[in-house]
A and B are shown apart, each in its own frame.
Chain A
């Protein structure tokens, strides 16, 4: 009985809180009006072409949609088809996974190791070596030079070299042979991968407080490996985390290189990745619902790996 009498005032107060919350939001908006206006052009475009498409893609993955008929809800069918009935997707998944576990970590470690070595050179040499290592990643699609190197006739540079030295007698069809396609794409991918994170690492190494290093040598740090683990790596943990995001995202998104080098589709899908599979259904077959399911799986893999890596990197130097 008593509870009845208590309800009314409590209800009233909730309504009051709600109103004041809305008022608070409105006053916040009014007070910071100029800030919101400054951000609005960027955010409008960002939401239209990044955030909304992700949400839309998640929803669309539960529909059958071919851009002509009205979308039809089919539940989990796209996903079950993807994992149970699509052998090519499983090949693509395996290849993408190989890229993620091989080129991802190697490129990340290479970015750091080369940045670490280059950092100790004199400024002029450092600038030059930075250019040498960074140039491939910004020289656009010049990786088609690798097509000439791995060309399947005897005019190809590698075939010519191997034939002249007598290692092989007949030219190898590098980019049409299943056993070579994936390693070659990985090699070119690694060649292209010293990008933004490499620069971030060099810059991060240059900003490490020298007094920390000196203090550490007094405290008994005896060699470079200890210095690296206890001083250098923890000092640049923010850059390491940023670099990890860049390298992981890149290693999951291999597509253009595969298409350019091995063709689309490549021989027996040897160079097929999740992204090329997505392109196949999204821009050639126009099975938009199915393509969205592929995109959702890719999205989950990228975000998941990134978040796990961020957690691991927090443990550095502990």
Chain B
């Protein structure tokens, strides 16, 4: 082993040789293009006229970019039984309430867990950590029954309410809040602030990076929801459902499908570009202690 190590030794300062750097560059470029390729392809396809989509042999890049696919999409949606604006409103409503509510509720629950030790605090947090270890699929069957008992089948509540208590959000928020100095909270207490006031005026403004992180983790799931097995009425369906119906329309709708793919991916990616540095700040505290 030490022989191997000494062979790999590059220099005393642990700098990489040119060859190693070059190989790493190749590795990154290769895998980077594998990761980006489908997305670039999706962007290109959205601007391809129909004849270019079905050209043989297929071409990767667009030759004569056009906005036809987007106009077609608007035309089809304008003619449909339920107007496109309804699907958009539904999706925005679900995403907005779901993410904002989640950030507020998760941080309200994270603040006591991060800053106080009280009866049950450790147990509650362990349950949350344990729930990170299995996915929501496990509870799909009983969830459906709970929804039907609550009478929430075929209502937006069935999509929004469970999303409010997404466990990963609470976990990340709690880890981030532990960094807030205790002195800040003590000072507010001496000034006569109660716990609710401290939470809202001291803690919340200090965890802005974590808000954005919870947003970026919660947003794609809600933005991309198709209503699952809970939504049946056409006027309650989401944008993603409407768009996937269109995309399933076969060859005639291939161009529209490509436009749809672009619309669906562009919003979460833009959000991430804007919030990247905040997300990294939060993730630095994401570790699990033993």
6 CB < 8 A contacts A-B: A42-B105, A42-B170, A133-B32, A142-B261, A288-B145, A295-B140
Is the pair A53, B143 in contact by a Cβ cutoff of 8 Å? yes
Q: Cβ of B195: which chain A residues have Cβ within 8 Å of it?
A: 34-35, 38
Check if A145 sits within 8 Å of B38, measured CB to CB: yes
- Per-residue A-contact encoding for B169-204, CB less than 8 Å = 1, 0 else: 010000000000000000000000011100100000
Task: Say yes or no: A203 contacts B283, CB within 8 Å.
Answer: yes
The answer on a CB contact under 8 Å between B220 and A138 is: yes
Cβ proximity bits A207-236 to B, threshold 8 Å, 1 near / 0 not = 100000000010000111111000000001
Q: Report the separation of the CA atoms of residues A50 and B217 in the bound assembly, to the nearest whole angstrom.
A: 18
A163 to B57, CA, bound (A): 8
A136/B273 in contact, CB under 8 A: no
Q: Hey, which chain B residues are within 8 Å of A155, CB to CB?
A: 54, 56, 58
Summarize A's interface: helix, strand, loop or mixed. helix
Min CB distance A139 to B, Å, is 4
Chain B residue contacts of A133, Cβ below 8 A: 31-32, 35
How many Å lie between the Cα of A202 and that of B264 in the bound state?
26
Task: State the CA gap A139–B24 with chains docked (Å).
Answer: 27
A91 to chain B, nearest CB (A): 18
Residue from the list B41, B116, B286 in contact with A149, Cβ < 8 A: B41
Residues of B within 8 A of A32 (CB): 112, 116, 118-119
* B283 contact from A29, A202, A291, Cβ within 8 A: A202
Q: Is A242 an interface residue (CB 8 A)?
A: yes
Contacting pair B284 A206 (CB below 8 A): yes
- Contacts A131-B276, A217-B13 known; 19 new A-B pairs at CB < 8 A: A28-B118, A29-B119, A42-B109, A53-B139, A56-B142, A60-B141, A133-B32, A139-B220, A146-B38, A160-B56, A203-B280, A223-B9, A224-B8, A239-B286, A245-B132, A249-B135, A275-B137, A282-B141, A295-B140
**Which residue from A25, A154, A194, A217 sits with its C-beta under 8 Å from B35?**
A194
Tell me the nearest residue of chain A to B266, going by C-beta.
Answer: A139
Question: Known contacts A54-B139, A278-B140; is A191 also within 8 Å of B38 by CB?
Answer: yes
- Which residues of B are found within 8 Å of A264, using beta-carbon distances? none
Q: Does residue B84 face the partner (Cβ distance < 8 Å to A)? A: no
Please report which residues of chain A, range 122-151, place their CB below 8 angstroms from some CB of chain B when the two chains form the complex.
127, 129-136, 138-146, 148-149
Would you call A226 and B5 a contact (CB within 8 A)? yes
- Are the CB atoms of B124 and A43 closer together than 8 Å? yes
The reply to whether B133 and A303 contact each other, CB–CB distance below 8 Å, is yes
User: What is the minimal beta-carbon distance from B98 to any residue of chain A, in angstroms?
Assistant: 12
Q: How far is it, in angstroms, between the C-alpha of A238 and the C-alpha of B287 when the chains are bound?
A: 4
A82 CB within 8 Å of chain B: no
B76 within 8 A of A: no
Distance, CA A255 to CA B229, complexed state (A): 15
Partner of A207, one of B24, B229, B279, B284: B284
Q: Which residues of chain B (26-41) have a CB below 8 Å from chain A?
A: 27-28, 31-32, 34-36, 38-39, 41
Question: Are A203 and B281 also in contact (CB < 8 A) when A39-B112, A129-B28, A141-B244 are?
Answer: yes
State in angstroms the CA–CA spacing of A204 and B52 once bound together: 45
In the complex, the answer to whether A138 meets B287 with C-beta atoms within 8 Å is no
Asked if A12 is an interface residue, CB under 8 A from chain B, the answer is: no
B286 contact set on A, CB distance < 8 A: 196, 200, 203-204, 238-239, 242
Instruction: Give the distance to chain A from B163, nearest Cβ to Cβ, in Å.
Output: 9
Q: Identify the interface centre among A50, A146, A299: most chain B CB within 10 Å of its CB.
A: A50
Whether A222 contacts B6 in the complex (CB less than 8 A), given A200-B283, A249-B133, comes out as: yes
Would you give the 0/1 interface string for B218-239, flagging 1 where the beta carbon is closer than 8 Å to chain A?
A: 0110011000010000000000
Contacts of A278 in B (CB 8 A): 137, 140-141
Contact B165 A45 (CB under 8 A): yes
Compute how far the CA of A161 lies from the CA of B5 in the bound complex, rounded to whole angstroms. Answer: 42
Residue of B nearest to A274 (CB): B137
B141–A138 CB distance below 8 A:
no
With both beta carbons as reference points, the residue of chain A lying nearest to B137 in the complex is identified as A275
Interface string of A154-171 (1 = CB under 8 A from B): 111100110110000000
